């Protein structure tokens, strides 16, 4: 049975030097436990903090945490991006589906799982709430589980239940979860969303990433019928379509009638929507993002974004040049899964430019150091505010032409010049 302590400081007292700590991620980031750990950092050496994207984790940048606590990030966040690029934190490029597996096989040992859970129900079950992702596997693998019990954490159905007896130390405090909302969509985002929406039809089963583009796409799908969701994550746009009767999940080939995801991040409305709702299951990300479970859904349409694309179709999504910006996440899991799904499609949707229109995101060759997240052999549809470039089955010259057609007009001449020089025949 969990021992209940009075403070976050007491809860993290079990952590010792040289340990590998898994940090519950996304909107479930246990910020209070992290704060207490950073306070104690000077007494510890060589502690690794394994993590996905963290919210409200700015305390990790505190100078005294350096050298004592070292973030090991599968996905950079606001707090860790600068640290990774300075060399005071590490980035591990890995497909999201592989992360739980690496813990289960022991390839990536986990000594302690730091999690944020709902209070135990009448059966003694707490819930990982808004974020099951790789934290389910971390709890199975860890020798010690330390929990912040938060009465505001929803009780989600699926794989996120952890029995009270599995928790070693628990600390209770009611705090609101982080609200993560993109800015309202601008004209460029609206146009991208319109083109992407034209690739989506009745009864498609969708995977959508986070951000302004996915939510804008959802707002263009209100005329469709019986959409399903099998996604690494979802946000407010999905709730809108469920309430409008557009998402019914009726025709999904797996988990029919049920919305499947690995985590949610958005407004309080999304968190209320999943609370004790058996129509939503948050499942272990090793299962959600496995090629087998993705591709068993017919008409699987994945929608993700990118930072840069070269004219051969290589998609960079985790770095700006060699500066790490985010992570591999589930993009490639879903691109590959959609390719295998009957009548499946993958979409990479992005603005044609960055930095106020001064940089083209469609470039002849990737910037030195840029990381390829989706290889050119697997890429399917690229969507910008200028239309759709379908690359699957196209030659290098054909795909370069298709991409130039959706590049910003200010950069098309330069791209054409490069193409002529590269393929003079
Ligand atoms: N050169 C220089 N700067 C660039 C750039 C480029 N080629 N592309 C983007 N940027 C800048 C933008 O201007 C923006 O800067 P700002 O914050 O100062 O405005 C910043 O980088 C982020 O770009 P943006 O396009 O707004 O990012 P986003 O929030 O829409 O996220 C990804 C896009 C690709 C980073 C995100 O989808 C991701 O992390 N994907 C990888 C994993 C994945 O797809 N997982 C599955 C879904 S969860």
Residue 64 domain flag: yes
Residue 182 domain flag: no
HSE-CB of 362 using CA atoms within 13 angstroms: 34
Q: Looking at ligand 1, which residue's alpha carbon is closest to its atom 16?
A: 355
pLDDT at 218: 94
Asked if residue 283 and residue 160 are part of one domain, the reply reads no
Q: Which of 127, 144, 172 is the last residue of a domain?
A: 172
Asked if residue 406 and residue 375 are part of one domain, the reply reads yes
Residue 365 domain flag: yes
Residue 179 domain flag: no
Q: Verify whether ligand 1 is closer than 6 Å to residue 362 (CB atom).
A: no
Q: Verify whether ligand 1 is closer than 6 Å to residue 188 (CB atom).
A: no
Q: Which of 35, 55, 232, 385 is catalytic?
A: 232
* Residue-level pLDDT, tens digit, the chain, 425 residues: 899 999 999 999 999 999 999 999 999 999 999 999 999 999 999 999 999 999 999 999 987 787 899 999 999 999 999 999 999 999 999 999 999 999 999 999 999 999 999 999 999 999 999 999 999 999 999 999 999 999 999 999 999 999 999 999 999 999 999 999 888 999 999 999 999 999 999 999 999 987 789 989 999 999 999 999 999 999 999 999 999 999 999 999 999 999 999 999 999 999 999 999 999 999 999 999 999 999 999 999 999 999 999 999 999 999 999 999 999 999 999 999 999 999 999 999 999 999 999 999 999 999 999 999 999 999 999 999 999 999 999 999 999 999 999 999 999 999 999 999 999 98
HSE-CB of 244 using CA atoms within 13 angstroms: 16
Nearest C-alpha neighbor of 1 from the set 169, 224, 228, 216: 169
Cβ atoms within 10 Å of 68's Cβ, excluding its own:
17
Q: Which of 172, 202, 233 is the last residue of a domain?
A: 172
- Tokens matching residue 345: 């499609």
For position 280, which CATH number holds?
Answer: 3.40.1080.20
> Rounded to the nearest whole angstrom, what is the distance from the C-alpha of residue 307 to the centroid of ligand 1?
5
Tokens 């592989």 belong to: 98
Asked if residue 191 and residue 161 are part of one domain, the reply reads no
Domain that holds residue 97: 3-172
133-156 b/e (C-beta count within 10 Å ≥ 16 → b):
bbbbbbbbbbebbbbbbbebbbbb
Asked if residue 219 and residue 112 are part of one domain, the reply reads no
Q: Verify whether ligand 1 is closer than 6 Å to residue 214 (CB atom).
A: no
CB-based contact 25:116 (threshold 8 Å): no
Q: In what order do the strands lie in the sheet with 315-316?
A: 362-363, 308-310, 315-316, 372-374
Instruction: Tell me how many domains the chain contains.
Output: 2
Tokens 């009767």 belong to: 245
Asked if residue 78 and residue 215 are part of one domain, the reply reads no
CB-based contact 8:32 (threshold 8 Å): yes
Sign of CA dihedral 336, 337, 342, 343: negative
Residue 177 domain flag: no
Asked if residue 205 and residue 168 are part of one domain, the reply reads no
CB-based contact 266:179 (threshold 8 Å): yes
Distances (CA, A) of 242 to 94, 169, 395, 424: 32, 38, 40, 52
Asked if residue 85 and residue 222 are part of one domain, the reply reads no
Q: What is the dihedral of CA 150, 151, 157, 161, to 10 degrees?
A: 50
Asked if residue 146 and residue 28 are part of one domain, the reply reads yes
For position 126, which CATH number holds?
Answer: 3.40.1080.10
Q: Beta 359-360 vs 3-5: how paired, if at all?
A: unpaired
- Tokens matching residue 185: 């969509």
Residue 23 domain flag: yes
Asked if residue 254 and residue 128 are part of one domain, the reply reads no
Residue 354 domain flag: yes
pLDDT at 311: 98
416 is annotated as an active-site residue:
no
Asked if residue 96 and residue 123 are part of one domain, the reply reads yes
Question: Distance (Å, rounded) from C-alpha 352 to C-alpha 248?
Answer: 33
Ligand 1 atom closest to 233 (CA)? 48
What angle do helix axes 396-406 and 409-422 make, rounded to 10 degrees? 160
Q: What is the dihedral of CA 283, 284, 286, 290, to 10 degrees?
A: -10
195-216 b/e (C-beta count within 10 Å ≥ 16 → b):
bbbebbeebbbbbbbbbbbbbb
Q: Which of 144, 172, 200 is the last residue of a domain?
A: 172
Question: Distance (Å, rounded) from C-alpha 69 to C-alpha 134?
Answer: 21
CB-based contact 376:391 (threshold 8 Å): yes
Ligand 1 atom closest to 321 (CA)? 1
3-class DSSP state for residue 116?
strand
Asked if residue 283 and residue 219 are part of one domain, the reply reads yes
Residue 226 domain flag: yes
Asked if residue 108 and residue 14 are part of one domain, the reply reads yes
pLDDT at 62: 84
């Amino acid at each position: 049975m969990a021992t209940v302590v009075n403070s976050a400081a007491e809860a993290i007292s079990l952590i010792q030097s040289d340990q590998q700590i898994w940090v519950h991620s996304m909107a479930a980031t246990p910020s209070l436990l992290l704060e207490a750990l950073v306070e104690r950092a000077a007494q510890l050496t060589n502690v690794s903090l394994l993590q996905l994207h963290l919210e409200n984790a700015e305390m990790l940048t505190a100078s005294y945490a350096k050298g004592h606590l070292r973030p090991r990030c599968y996905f950079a966040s606001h707090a860790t991006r600068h640290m990774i690029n300075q060399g005071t934190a590490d980035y591990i490029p890995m497909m999201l589906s592989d992360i739980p597996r690496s813990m289960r096989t022991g390839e990536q040992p986990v000594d302690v799982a730091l999690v944020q859970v709902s209070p135990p129900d009448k059966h003694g079950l707490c819930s990982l709430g808004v974020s099951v992702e790789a934290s389910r596997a971390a709890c199975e693998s860890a020798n010690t589980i330390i929990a912040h019990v938060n009465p505001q954490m929803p009780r989600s159905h699926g794989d996120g239940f952890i029995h009270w007896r599995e928790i070693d130390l628990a600390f209770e405090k009611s705090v609101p979860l982080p609200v993560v909302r993109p800015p309202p969509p601008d004209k460029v985002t609206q146009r991208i969303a319109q083109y992407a929406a034209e690739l989506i039809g009745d009864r498609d089963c969708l995977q959508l990433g986070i951000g302004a583009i996915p939510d804008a796409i959802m707002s263009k799908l209100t005329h469709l019928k019986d959409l399903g969701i099998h996604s690494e994550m979802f946000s407010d746009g999905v709730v809108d379509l469920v309430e409008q009767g557009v998402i019914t999940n009726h025709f999904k080939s797996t988990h029919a009638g049920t919305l499947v995801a690995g985590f949610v991040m958005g407004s309080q409305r999304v968190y209320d929507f999943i609370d004790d709702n058996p129509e939503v299951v948050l499942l272990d990300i090793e299962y959600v993002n496995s090629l087998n479970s993705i591709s068993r859904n017919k008409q699987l349409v994945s929608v993700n974004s990118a930072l840069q694309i070269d004219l051969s179709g290589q998609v960079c999504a985790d770095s700006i040049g060699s500066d790490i910006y985010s992570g591999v996440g589930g993009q490639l899991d879903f691109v590959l899964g959609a390719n295998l799904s009957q009548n499946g499609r993958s979409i990479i949707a992005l603005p044609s430019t960055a930095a106020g229109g001064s940089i083209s995101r469609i470039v002849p060759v990737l910037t030195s150091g840029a990381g390829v997240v989706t290889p050119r052999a697997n890429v399917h549809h690229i969507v910008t505010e200028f239309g759709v470039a379908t690359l699957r089955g196209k030659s290098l010259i054909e795909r370069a032409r298709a991409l130039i057609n959706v590049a910003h007009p200010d950069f098309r001449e330069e791209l054409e010049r490069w193409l002529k020089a590269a393929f003079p025949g």
